[in-house]
A and B are shown apart, each in its own frame.
Chain A
Amino acid sequence: AQSVTQPDIHITVSEGASLELRCNYSYGATPYLFWYVQSPGQGLQLLLKYFSGDTLVQGIKGFEAEFKRSQSSFNLRKPSVHWSDAAEYFCAVDFTGTASKLTFGTGTRLQVTL
């Protein structure tokens, strides 16, 4: 069955430290991959997406993600975290290829300590 896994429910990092949030999916082919961020009380904002081509994609707010086909992973990274990055992060996958449905991971809540 197609599924999306975010193994870390909660991560705490110090401001200025690097960040990596993990995302794995279960699927035979390469799907379309997304990362969204949800700040407290807010909706979902698209950080970045991968459809094809260069496996390292750049997004907004200094985030990047790397697609690794061999590991079925699409991990989100940021070299230096800011306190304003505290939020919940969702990996989402379009297994349909038609924009009709996203399958979401359960989310990773990021806490940033000063």
Chain B
Amino acid sequence: EAQVTQNPRYLITVTGKKLTVTCSQNMNHEYMSWYRQDPGLGLRQIYYSMNVEVTDKGDVPEGYKVSRKEKRNFPLILESPSPNQTSLYFCASSGSGGDYLTQYFGPGTRLTVL
């Protein structure tokens, strides 16, 4: 089954404790993105990657890091989380095949930073 998976689905942590949210897709997609969803703001892009070792900032990159060492994986790293990063995070991927230009989303990771 074609899908985007994220782990963990729920995470409660404390300020300053480094964490990583993993994202993996099995569709051989070139593009991957991270978004955060906040009430009343919709989804905003954090970072995106056009292929292995190619990443770029989205609209709200501050406080986040990403890496793309393998095509299927795109982890989101919060090196020193703060309470304002409490949010619902989505990973998405899209490819150059038949469903070109269509982003498919993972199930989301709800992060709470205390």
Contacts and interface: CB of A to CB of B under 8 A. Distances in A.
Interface of A: 4, 9, 32, 34, 36, 42-46, 49, 51, 90, 92, 94, 97-102, 104-107
A58 to B, nearest CB: 15
24 contacts: A9-B40, A34-B103, A36-B105, A42-B108, A43-B106, A43-B107, A44-B43, A44-B105, A90-B42, A90-B43, A94-B101, A99-B31, A99-B94, A99-B95, A99-B100, A100-B33, A100-B50, A101-B45, A102-B33, A102-B35, A102-B45, A104-B43, A106-B40, A106-B42
Contact of A42 (B48, B50, B104, B107): B107
B91 to A, nearest CB: 10
Interface in B44-68: 44-45, 48, 50, 56, 58
Contacts of B45: 101-102
Interface in B1-48: 31, 33, 35, 40-45, 48
A105 B41 CA distance: 8
A45 B40 CA distance: 19
A102 B91 CA distance: 12
Nearest to B29: A99
Interface in B89-114: 90, 92, 94-95, 100-108
A102 B103 contact: yes
B33 A49 contact: no
